[in-house]
């Protein structure tokens, strides 16, 4: 399954989109955002979402490379 996913061009494009969106949310961060504001909640939630997306990407790619490179066929 990992091979089918990693080999698709759209997978890389989706990850690049998430990287771009992550850069935008990082640029929105500033020290004077009140801790209980909706903007702070949005940025914190977005941070968790990006963390999950990038962790899933890493897991899928590690599984792909482990199965292709380290496991003898």
What is the tally of structural domains in the chain? 1
- For residue 56, the model assigns a pLDDT of 95
| Distance, CA of 73 to CA of 67 (rounded, Å) | 9
- For residue 70, the model assigns a pLDDT of 61
- For residue 72, the model assigns a pLDDT of 58
pTM reported for the whole predicted model: 0.83
Write the pLDDT tens digit of every residue in 13-37: 999 999 999 999 999 999 999 999 9
Secondary structure of the chain: what % helix, strand, coil (to 5)? 80, 0, 20
| Distance, CA of 64 to CA of 2 (rounded, Å) | 5
Which tokens in the block code for residue 22?
A: 């992550």
Which tokens in the block code for residue 69?
A: 């490179």
Range of the domain at 15: 2-70
Mean pLDDT, rounded, of the chain: 91
| Distance, CA of 17 to CA of 47 (rounded, Å) | 15
């Amino acid at each position: 399954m990992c091979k089918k996913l990693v080999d698709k061009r759209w997978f890389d494009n989706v990850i690049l989109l998430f990287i771009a969106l992550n850069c935008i949310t990082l640029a929105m961060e500033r020290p004077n955002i009140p801790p209980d504001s909706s903007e702070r909640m949005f940025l914190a939630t977005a941070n968790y979402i990006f963390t999950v997306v990038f962790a899933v990407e890493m897991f899928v790619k590690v599984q792909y490379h482990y199965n292709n490179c380290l496991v003898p066929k």
